[in-house]
Amino acid sequence: MTENIDSYIEEVESFNSGNQDEIEQFRIKFLSKKGIISTLFTQLKDVPADQKKEFGQRLNLLKNKATDKVKILKEQSVSSAQEPVVDDLTSPPEPLPLGTRHPVSIVRNEIIDIFSKIGFTISEGPEIEDDWHVFSGLNFPDEHPARDMQDTFFIEKNPDILLRTHTSSVQIRVMENEKPPIRKIFPGRVFRNEVISARAHCIFHQVEGLYIDKNVSFADLKQTLLFFAKEMFGENTQIRLRPAFFPFTEPSAEMDVSCTICKGKGCNVCKYTGFLEILGCGMVDPNVLESSDISSVEYTGFAFGMGIERVAMLKYHINDLRLFFENDTRFLNQFKGDIT
Ligand code: PHE
C-alpha cells in the first residue's frame, strides 16, 4: 500500500508551476476534503496492523510535502507578479542623480575666472604655517593682538607653528620666490579660533590678491576692485572704499559694494546703509617689500583679501554661514544649475 503513497510523494515533489489556477488545481487534488490525502486517511483503519505505522508515517510525509509545496508556489507567484515587467530593453534607463558643486567652489571658481581675465594667475601656500609668514613678515609687531591665542590655533610654541589665519601668508611665500612684476591671486582655507555662529566660523575660505610692479598706484587698486565688483555682482554695482588699518598695507581700506538685495536703497541686510563690506585692501607696506628683498624705491604694489563665504552669502542671499559646512543636500541641491 505504501508504494501508492510513494508515487504521490514523487508527483508532489516534481510539481512546479507559476500559474495560480494550476496551483489551485494541485491543492484541490491533494489537500481538499475529498482530495487524495484525506481519502488515504480514511483508508488508514483498513490497513493491516503491522503496516499501520509505516503507512501513517508516509501519509504524514505526503501531507507535509503537499502543504509546503502549495505554500511556496503561491508565495513565488505573488512576488513575481509584483516585479515590473521589462518589456522594452531599448528604453532609456532612469537618469542617475548627479551631485552638485559646493557654493564655495562655485564662487571661488568665479572669482578666479574674473581675475584671470585681467592677467592674474594662481599660487597656493601651506595651511600649516610659521609665525614669519603669517605675522612677522607681514609687519605685525610682536605684541599685536591678532597673534593672541584667541584668534590663532597654535600647533607648537617656540618656534611658533600655527594654522594660517589669513591667505596673506602666501604673499610672503610668493615674494620670497619670485621677482616683480607679480600679478597673482591665492585662494585657500584659513582658520581662526572663533565661536561658531551665523556670522563666524573657525574654518573659512579667502582669496588674496597681490600686484607688484613699477608705478602701481592706489588708482590701479580701485579700478581692479571696481572691475571685480561689477563682474561679480552686476554692471550697476557701486563700490565704496573706507580707510582701515592692516599692518601689511599702507594706506589700507575696506571695500563695500552697493547692497545686492536692495540695490543701495536701504534694507535690513545692509542695515539701511545701502552698502555691504566685502574685502580688505591697501598698498603693500614698504616694510613688507623690503623684508622680502624687494626694493620699495623701485617697486610699489597693492594687495586685497576677501572671504569667499561672504561673497557667496551676498550673491545667493544666504543668511547663515554654518550652512556652508553642514553639507545638507537640501541646501546644496539648490546650486544644481551653477556649474562654474
Ligand atoms: N588678510 C586680511 C584679513 O584677513 C585681508 C587683507 C588682505 C587686507 C590684503 C589687506 C590686504 O582680514
Give the tens place of pLDDT for each residue, 113-160: 999 999 999 999 999 999 999 999 999 998 888 787 678 999 998 888
299 lines ligand 1 (CB under 6 A): no
Instruction: Using most ligand atoms within 8 A of CB, pick from 168, 185, 278 the residue to mutate for ligand 1.
Output: 168
249 lines ligand 1 (CB under 6 A): yes
Residue whose cell numbers read 597673534: 147
- CA–CA dist 35, 230 (Å, integer): 89
168 lines ligand 1 (CB under 6 A): yes
Q: Of all protein residues, whose CA lies closest to atom 10 belonging to ligand 1?
A: 281
| Residue 48 or 208, more confident | 208
Q: Give the pLDDT of residue 210.
A: 98
Give the distance (Å) from ligand 1 centre to CA of residue 191: 14
What atom in ligand 1 is closest to the CA of residue 307?
4
Percent of the chain exceeding pLDDT 70 equals 96
Give the distance (Å) from ligand 1 centre to CA of residue 104: 19
Percent of the chain exceeding pLDDT 90 equals 65
- Computed over every residue of the chain, the mean pLDDT equals 91
pLDDT at 167 over 70: yes
Omega before residue 97 within 30° of 0, cis: no
Q: How confident is the model at residue 84 (pLDDT cuts 50, 70, 90)?
A: low
Q: Of all protein residues, whose CA lies closest to atom 12 belonging to ligand 1?
A: 280
All structural domains of the chain, each given as residue ranges with its CATH number in brackets, are 2-80 (no CATH), 103-335 (3.30.930.10)
Q: Give the pLDDT of residue 83.
A: 64
Instruction: Using most ligand atoms within 8 A of CB, pick from 111, 140, 166 the residue to mutate for ligand 1.
Output: 166
| Residue/partner pairs of 216-222 with CB below 8 Å, 24 or more apart | 216/283, 216/299, 216/300, 216/301, 216/302, 217/300, 218/251, 218/283, 218/302, 220/302, 221/281, 221/282, 221/283, 221/302, 221/304
305 lines ligand 1 (CB under 6 A): yes
